[in-house]
Structures are given as C-alpha cells and as structure tokens.
Amino acid sequence: MLCTWLSTIAGGIVVLCVSLKIFFPYFWEDLIYFLRRKRLKAMVKKWASNGILSIIDLFMQRAGKIPHKPFLIYEGKVHTYQDVDRRSNRVAQVFLQYGNLKKGDTVALLMGNGPDFIHVWFGLAKLGCVVAFLNFNVQSRSLLHCVNTCAAKALVIGEDCLGSIEKEFVFHLWENNVAIWLMSTSSPFQRVHTIPDKLDKVPDHPVPSHLKIVANTRNTAMYIFTSGSTGFPKAAIITHLRALSACLAFTQCGAVSQDIMYLTLPLYHISASLLGIGGCIELGATCVLKKKFSASQFWSDCRKYNVTLFLYIGELCRYLCNQPSKEEDRVHKVRIALGNGIRPAVWKEFLMRFGPIKIFEFYGSTEGNLGFLNYTNKTGAVGRAVCICTFFISSLHSFELLKYDVWKQELMKDENGRCKKAPIGKPGLLVVQVTQDAPFSGYAGNNEASEKKLLRNLFVNGDVYFNTGDLLVMDEDGFLYFTDRVGDTFRWKGENVATVEVAEIIGMMDFVQEVNVYGVSIKNYEGRTGMAAIVLKPDQPFNGERLYKHVVDFLPSYAQPRFVRIMDVMQITATFKHQKMHLVNEGFNPEIISEPLYFMHEPAHSYIPLTREIYKNVVSGEIRL
C-alpha cells in the first residue's frame, strides 16, 4: 500500500514537472525571481525599521559588522570597510571645520575613479549633503551648466581632473559664490581650498550623527547627470529610496558576500556608483576598482584578484572580444556579469570564448521609474515582463508599449484620441505609469524638461506615464528586446529602420570589428537613408562585394545602408556608447570627410568608392536611390 502511494506521488511529481517544462518553461526562474523581489522589498522595509534609510547608513552598518574585510582594492592597495569609514570621517570633519556647508547643501564632485571619490562622497553624505556627480569628460561650458543646475554650494575637483580646468570656468564659479575644493596639496588657482593637507589635522571619529539623519527616503540623496546627447546634461534626482533599491541589483542575480567585484566604469555613472559600489556594500563584498577600463588588462586582473562579478555597459564586452585570443581566456572565476547594452552577436561570442558566465542584461535609465532584468539569461533580451501568473505581472510592472510613428515623431492614436498599444512582436514606445510606488522624480532646476518626459491622458483622463524615449519589442513569451532610441530609428521608403538591427547584420561580417549605423538626409528625399560607419579588424581589408551580397541577403531593400564610412576608431561616450550626432551631421560628403567612403552600387553588385562625381550625381538626383 505504501509503495503504491509513493509511486503515485512520484508519478504525479514527474507529470507536474514535465507539464511545467512544456507549458511554463520559465516557471522556476519566474518563481525564484518573484520570491527574491518580495524578500528584497521586505529587506528594505526592515532596514527602515532599523534606521537604515540611506546608502551611508547601510555602509556604516557594514563597517561596524565587518570592519577588517577588504572593501576596495585599488592599484594593489587594500582599503578595508573600516579604512574607508575613518577616511570619510576625516573628509566630513574637514568640511565641518573648514567649510561653510550645512545639512541639505549640494556639493558637486568632479573626480576620476579612485578611493578618494568614495571618501569624499561618503564624507559629504555623513554631513547630510546632497552630492552631484559630474562627468569629467564634458567641456567647461557644460560643467558650469551642471553646477548651476543643481545649485551647488561647492565643487570638489580631483587631482587628476585639474589639468582640464580652464581659468574662465573657475572665474565663473567665483562669481556664483561656489567654493572650490581640491583633492590636491597644491593649486594652480588662487582662492581655492585644499583637502589632503587638512586630513591629518582633524580626527577620524564620526561627525554628529544628527547631520546624516534622513527624514524621508523620498528626499534627494544625489544628482546623477544624463549623457546630454540632446543638449546640456540634465541632473536626474536620485532619492534615498531609489539609491537603496539600486544597491540590490547584484543580489537579485544571486551574488553573495564572498564575491569579488571588478569595477571599471566611471563612478559618476549610476551603474558604477549605485549598482557597483552600492551593490558591493549591500552584499558586504569586495570591489576591485580600476582607474579606467583596459581591455588588455581585464582578464589578467580578474585572475590576479579572483574576480567573480563584473559590471559592463555599452560596447565593453565587444572590446573584450576584439582582444587577441589566448589559451587562458577561460581561466578565471567570473560567474556573473551585470549590465546593459550588449548586442546579441557579441553576447554569443563572449560566452563561446570566455566560458559559461551568467549574463544578466537589464534595461533602465538614470531618471527612469522602472527597470527590467533578464533573469533567465536569454540571449538578446533586456528583461522579462510576463511571469507565472497575472498577480506577478500586476505586482512587478506597470508599463505599455505604444504604437509610434517614427517619421512624424508622435504616438499613434485612435478616433477617441487615446493611444494604441503595439501588438506582440512589433516595436512600441515604452511608457511607464507614474505611481506612488514608481515615481518620476524629474530633473533638478529644469521643470520644463521634467514635464516633457511625462505623457498624460493616454488611456483615461488623469493618467500619467513616463516617456522612456525607447522602442522595445515584446515576444510571445513575454521577453523584451531593445529596438532603438526614438531619435536613432529613421524612416526610408516609407519604412522604419532600426539601427541596432542593421548593425547586428553588418557586424556578422568577418572583417568588421565595430559598426555604427545611422540615417543621413539627402536633398529632395523624404526621410533618411542608411549609412554605416565601420572599423575594420586589424589587417583585414574592406570587401565591398561581400558586404553588398550580405546586406542584400539579410536586409530588406529599405534597410540596406547606401553609404559606408571606414573609420580607424569609433567615437564613443565615456560609458562605451556609440556617438552618432557628429556622423549624422557630416553625412556622406567626400569634401568634408577625409576617410574612405563607399556607395552601394547595384549594377556592380558591390560597394564602390564614393567619388566626388558620384556624390554630385546623388545630390542632384541623377543617381536615384
């Protein structure tokens, strides 16, 4: 009797497992992810009940529990949690005794990667100051705009950034009564304060604890600036709650306190500062911090420090794949990579070459009110929106993909003026409902830009959605795929052309190392036609015939790039994203561009050199496209 019962139960379990595999193939991944999220939400509530309302609260708790554990390893030197805590105490004491700051003041940081960035960040946080992270790659005019936008009372400049500071920029800061502090013992400018020489004059014990107390987790913790690709950078408001939530990203991927993180991204970027440093604190783990990314040193560093996690963004993984192959490519302990922007072809090549690393691609933006995580590690997807039951869906996401007219640059609406939802398998504009649980905090000092990001009355009167500006596609299994930025997708011959898709196809060619696709305008033509900027692999010549055949075989006629530009180096942003605007502006004019240009010539079944005569004939309309 007992055997019969046991065999029946075993048979039922087998049938259940097989059924789940067939009808709900991602059941267990969905369940684990959902339960993890529930646990992490409960953890944030528990933190609040224990007085942990900010990143600095969390760090100080960790420093108290694991004071002697390595927190940072920088250029071979180990900084324990206690070391960073005491050093940041000294920074706080310097500003308290020599500065003129009060709780709630904003202080901007213009510093490169290094322990001092974190010492200053944490020291100011202990004083209750709001920190603003500045991109050290932008020009003085943009920097001044950033400082003014966030109403900074002071600016801290790292020693490595001093060389790029212009006198005119300093004069403008003086005029605006912005105090200047240098992480240097000497200064090329007058009327500035120095920090290092004062650190030994102050104690390393904590400043009064009431200064760092957070009254409300929805108050501003920091400003992190957008890239500024469409104008001046905007100061995205990051609340304490948002910052704490971002710290949990690696935990959602299964990371633990024994892990060692490798961080090469600039700390002024939200991925490095909150997902990286913040995530490391939340785990109680160790971070190997680099001054900047080096593809040639990446894997040797991973082996040297026994790295198990790393953060990537944009084209970083492509640069690793472009390095010469080595026998020890798979000799490492890396098991998790978290980031966004890896292309499917690079994803596959990366795994084939460097081994079974779990790649967790996510979707999100600095100012956005929702993020997706591809917790199943499915190649190409940026996240998953459909879970094992409708309860999961409603509790995890509140977003829509809307039909969007790329040519008119506007949403498509029905006869009642309401927005239309994009069908499964078709790209749509991602919008996210603004709610109490998913607020949009906006941009500091720029109400107009904040309002422009909001869409109202899309489905019913009174509803409000955040406009991400991104086109995504959802497949039948609920996986989401990034298609393009709204401004990057262009229209040609009445059809929408997704630059990411075209770049993927061209990137399949064995002589192509890197490709950037964009649309260029031609007189008397509606829309824009495709152009591809290509960086060739070392010692590989451009083959116009093979590329012609390839794009004709794999792309519809309207998506085939009519022009090709060969470049030595692709221009990228500091976060490894391709720059397009200058390429779009230069177009395909051989009078302006000194690099080799090619034209897609149907009679020759090849891309042929674009001469001045061909250019003239295209512009005049003698050669029809």
What is the average pLDDT value for the chain, to the nearest integer?
90
Q: What is the CATH number of domain 385-433+443-485?
A: 2.30.38.10
Query: By mean pLDDT, which of 122-126, 232-236, 429-433, 605-609 is the weakest?
Result: 232-236
pLDDT at 453 (0 to 100): 93
pLDDT at 273 (0 to 100): 97
pLDDT tens sequence across 305-333: 999 999 998 788 988 998 999 999 999 99
pLDDT at 231 (0 to 100): 62
Higher pLDDT, 162 or 13: 162
- Among 296, 228, 112, 113, which residue's Cα sits nearest to residue 579? 228
pLDDT tens sequence across 142-169: 889 899 999 999 999 999 888 878 888 8
Q: What is the CATH number of domain 42-292?
A: 3.40.50.12780
Q: Which residues pair with 140 in a beta bridge?
A: none
Give the tokens for residue 517.
Answer: 């696709």
Q: Cα angle vertex 341, ends 339, 342, to 5°?
A: 90
The span from the CA of 577 to the CA of 571, in Å, is: 9
pTM as predicted:
0.85
Q: Which helix (H) or strand (E) holds 15?
A: helix 2-23
Residue 227 scores a pLDDT above 70: no
The span from the CA of 476 to the CA of 156, in Å, is: 50
Higher pLDDT, 264 or 485: 264
Phi, psi of 337 (to 5 degrees): -125, 125
> Helices (H) and strands (E) in the chain — how many of each?
21, 30
- Among 244, 221, 49, which residue's Cα sits nearest to residue 126? 221
Query: By mean pLDDT, which of 53-57, 465-469, 487-491 is the weakest?
Result: 487-491
Find out whether 28 and 36 touch, Cβ atoms under 8 Å: no
Domain residues of the chain, as ranges? 42-292, 385-433+443-485, 490-620
DSSP per-residue letters across 496-523: EE-HHHHHHHHTTSTTEEEEEEEEE--T
Dihedral angle computed from the Cα positions of residues 458, 461, 467 and 473, in that order, rounded to the nearest 10 degrees: -30
Task: Give the contacts of 242 (CB within 8 A, at least 6 positions apart).
Answer: 221, 441
Residue 263 scores a pLDDT above 90: yes
DSSP per-residue letters across 540-606: ----HHHHHHHHHHHS-GGGS-SEEEEESS--B-TTS-B--HHHHHHTT-TTT--S-EEEEETTTTE
Find out whether 358 and 380 touch, Cβ atoms under 8 Å: no
In CATH terms, the fold of domain 490-620 is GMP Synthetase; Chain A, domain 3 (3.30.300)
Residue 288 scores a pLDDT above 70: yes
In the structure, what pLDDT confidence band is assigned to residue 488 with cuts at 50, 70 and 90? confident
In the structure, what pLDDT confidence band is assigned to residue 189 with cuts at 50, 70 and 90? confident
Find out whether 154 and 99 touch, Cβ atoms under 8 Å: yes
Q: Cα angle vertex 449, ends 443, 454, to 5°?
A: 95
Q: Which residue has the tokens 């075209």?
A: 502
In the structure, what pLDDT confidence band is assigned to residue 23 with cuts at 50, 70 and 90? low
The span from the CA of 69 to the CA of 285, in Å, is: 8
DSSP label at 71? E
Helix, strand, or coil (residue 317): helix
pLDDT tens sequence across 107-119: 999 999 999 999 9
Helix, strand, or coil (residue 291): coil
In the structure, what pLDDT confidence band is assigned to residue 20 with cuts at 50, 70 and 90? low
**Counting Cβ atoms within 10 Å, is residue 15 exposed (0-12), middle (13-18) or buried (19+)?**
exposed
pLDDT tens sequence across 229-244: 556 789 999 999 999 9
The span from the CA of 428 to the CA of 470, in Å, is: 8
The span from the CA of 2 to the CA of 377, in Å, is: 42
